[in-house]
Amino acid sequence: MKYSFHEAAEREFFSAVEYYEECQSGLGLRFSEEVHATIERIWLKGKIIIGENILWIKIFLKKH
């Protein structure tokens, strides 16, 4: 699966990764892995289930 972030979202994502890494070594990597795993789940199922609620997310992913 290939995807890309909008450039503003990509900047914000990398900024968050850096922030978490500064808070605790390895935390930025864990955050990054979780974001990518969540994107993959959305890609495959088109929804996220949170407890008893289903959160539908409309996303625009540019397939390469």
* E-assigned strand segments in 1-64: 47-50, 53-56
Domain ranges of the chain: 7-56
Query: CA-CA distance, 29 to 45, in Å (whole number)?
Result: 24
Q: Which residue has the tokens 């397939």?
A: 63
* pLDDT for the residue numbered 43: 74
Helix extents (H) in the chain: 7-23, 27-45
Q: What is the pLDDT along the chain (64 residues), one digit of tens a residue?
A: 677 777 888 899 999 999 999 999 999 999 999 999 988 877 777 665 565 655 555 555 555 5
* pLDDT for the residue numbered 15: 96
